[in-house]
Structure 1
Amino acid sequence: MDNIKRVILKLSGEALAKKEGGYNDELIENIANQVKTIVDKGTDVGVVIGGGNYWRGRSNDNIDRTKADQIGMLATIMNCIYVSEIFRSQGLKTNILTPFECGSMTKLFSKDRANKYFEKGMVVFFAGGTGHPYFSTDTGIVLRAIELDADAILLAKAIDGIYDSDPKINPEAKKYDTISINEVVEKKLGVIDMTASVMCMENKMPLMVFGLEEENSIVNALSGKFNGTVVTVD
């Protein structure tokens, strides 16, 4: 994973929230400072945030799937607005792009616009998923990474990598240092959803999966001190 010039970072909305409600500002400030370290070294950073702290549409059968997914898209936009403001408070320049118009709150996504912001040293937040129902933020991040010629996707998770079974259930679960995307798909390891996994496989987009709560985990992913799992695409 040498010579990484552009990455897209995926954050869990649930991981950024406090159990008692609201956002974990201390954690978000820590993430912002790590991202600033990377940006200051010349790496472009895009950010995608899930909406799970606000909404999990699939858990409610009373709502039409399309409408439920639209609520989820709006949840990701709220998260990006909040987190981008915390990033700004830590000295970063940011902008938020969405696949549909949101008035003056965001700008409409285009590859040219995103590249222009990257050239200005901005952290670019990609909110609103793909803009279509039935596609998760996993698919959204892979789509943006492919479109923008990213070198890797960074997946900050609650656990420190990919295991052959759930380490919370199986204390003997084995952690992978590296694993191919083909193996992830074949074993249905659920790192990202199947649509996103196949897109990574077909477009040769590598992943780096690591624990968000590990100290300096985002910086370590790009500095040779990586302790997570690299998903290869060769």
Structure 2
Amino acid sequence: MASNAQYRRVLLKISGEGLMGAKEYGLDPVTLDRVAGEIRSVRDLGVEVCVVIGGGNIFRGVSGASTGMERAAADNVGMLATVINALSLQNSLEKNGVETRVQSAIVMPTVCESFIRRRAIRHLEKGRVVIFAAGTGNPFFTTDTAAALRGVEMGCDALLKATQVDGVYSADPKKVKDAVRYDRLTFNEVLARDLAVMDTSAIALCRENRMPIVVFDLHRPGAFAQVVSGCGLFTTIAND
């Protein structure tokens, strides 16, 4: 590993909306290629990278349920949306010269591998990026929880959550002018203050397994590599 990298292995959590670019729906090829470049720059530091992507740019289970669709069925559709995003990012990564594997929690052998923990770890050890798709494979669980679960299973040193802002704020900084930005928080503070970082199941899982969460802005060029090297703007959430 390069001497300036702070982590050996990380899990990157990207929202589906983070892949839309300026679009209102779907995938933006330019944004996909830029994100792939960010991931490659971290892989080139010698850091092992695995990824979990949401599906909100295509379909949200909660939104589907709110329009009358059964929640379990809506969540299944949402999980399939994450597979679309995962395969698209895989294509962009491989165009950037990064060997990549997609593993799905829902079995679909004609398009990707099924999730097998030991196989995923072996891919990482060989320098491949592994993208985990279809959430946990179960309805009623978010991709945030899937990211925490896969991060713990893979023995990651940290979960890096890419957002639309450069850290955690007391309120949405795009709506509240005097929102306070935090450099560091504990898991208990996040839960007590009801800060909208990740859902409570994900926070609790990371807290119990002592895996820190680092929140940063993936839209800022070079941010992912900077955060992995301990530089730039980000918020760290860890145990007391």
User: Which TM-score bucket, shorter chain as reference?
Assistant: over 0.9
* 1:184 equivalenced with 2:190 (yes/no): yes
Q: 1:20 to 1:190 in 2, by over 3 A?
A: closer
Tell me the amino acid that sits aligned with residue 156 of structure 1: A
Match of 2:19 among 16, 20, 27: 16
Residues in 1 aligned to 2:44 and 2:81: alpha-carbon distance in whole angstroms:
29
1:99-134: per-residue Cα shift (whole Å, max 9, x none)? 221132111111111011112211000000000011
Corresponding pairs, count: 234
TM-score, structure 1 normalization: 0.95
Residues in 2 aligned to 1:226 and 1:180: alpha-carbon distance in whole angstroms:
20
* 1:228 equivalenced with 2:231 (yes/no): no
Q: 1:79 to 1:56 in 2, by over 3 A?
A: same
Tell me the amino acid that sits aligned with residue 16 of structure 2: G
1:170-203: per-residue Cα shift (whole Å, max 9, x none)? 2011100111111001111020001111111111
Residues in 2 aligned to 1:56 and 1:128: alpha-carbon distance in whole angstroms:
13
1:46-66: per-residue Cα shift (whole Å, max 9, x none)? 011100011122123311110
Question: Percent identity of the aligned residues?
Answer: 38
1:23-63: per-residue Cα shift (whole Å, max 9, x none)? 22222222212211221221110011100011122123311
Equivalent positions of 1:146-185 (< 5 A) are 146-185=152-191
Residues in 2 aligned to 1:224 and 1:99: alpha-carbon distance in whole angstroms:
32
Gaps of 5+ in 2: none
Equivalent positions of 1:86-105 (< 5 A) are 86-105=92-111
Aligned to 1:74, the other structure's residue is in SS state: helix
Tell me the amino acid that sits aligned with residue 11 of structure 1: I
Residues in 1 aligned to 2:11 and 2:29: alpha-carbon distance in whole angstroms:
21
Moved over 3 A (4+): none
1:206 corresponds in structure 2 to: 212
What displacement does 1:205 show?
1.1
Q: 1:106 to 1:151 in 2, by over 3 A?
A: same
Instruction: Report if the CA contact (8 A) 2:26-2:58 is conserved.
Output: no
Equivalent positions of 1:1-234 (< 5 A) are 3-17=6-20, 18-19=22-23, 21-59=25-63, 60-234=66-240
Instruction: Please say which of residues 42-51 and 23-32 is displaced more in the overlay.
Output: 23-32
Tell me the amino acid that sits aligned with residue 89 of structure 1: K
Instruction: Please say which of residues 178-187 and 70-79 is displaced more in the overlay.
Output: 178-187
Tell me the amino acid that sits aligned with residue 57 of structure 1: G
Tell me the amino acid that sits aligned with residue 78 of structure 2: G
